[in-house]
Amino acid sequence: MGALFGCGIIAFVDEAVFHQLLHWHHFYDRSTQAAGLVSDGVFHAFSWFATVASLFLFADLRRRGALSTRLWLAGILMGIGAFQLFDGLVQHKLLDLHEIRYGVDLVPYDLAWNGAAVAFLVAGMLLLLAVRRAGRRSAGADDG
């Protein structure tokens, strides 16, 4: 459930920074400027829907006393990484919806974008593994 929050937050950051502030690209750049703006609006709506929906799930976990903040954080990190890697590989390269930036050598941008995605994924997985190991240790201590 933290992964949904991670996807929503990184999508919002992507939209706000790269689409709106820097004007590097639109979500869909293979048509008119108007189509690009509409695609940004749909993308922005997705980011907020994912963020708000995940916060309802967070509140439900908390209400039921089932919230693990470390698992939630691991999910956030993995959601950020998964979204960004999907964006960098599938949307940028496979589907060619848009480039990170136009008129520049893309190699450093691609390396930074996809490298950061892998770093977020690895950090989330390491945290998830640490939480699971700690859970097994405490369960083993309860058995003794």
Helix (H) or strand (E) holding 25: none
Please write down the long-range contacts of 129-136, taking CB distance under 8 Å and 24 or more positions apart. Answer: 130/70, 131/68, 131/70, 131/71, 131/74
pLDDT per residue of the chain (144 residues) written in tens, 0 to 9 = 899 999 999 999 999 999 889 988 888 888 888 988 898 899 999 999 999 999 999 999 999 999 999 999 999 999 999 999 999 999 999 999 888 889 999 999 999 999 999 999 999 999 999 999 988 887 665 554
Amino acid at 103: G
Q: Determine contact, residues 101/21, Cβ cutoff 8 Å.
A: no
* Nearest-angstrom CA–CA distance, 4 and 49: 10
pTM of the complete model: 0.88
Q: Determine contact, residues 5/65, Cβ cutoff 8 Å.
A: no
Domain edges within the chain:
2-143
DSSP 19: I
pLDDT digits (tens, 9 = 90+) for 103-128: 999 999 999 999 999 999 999 999 99
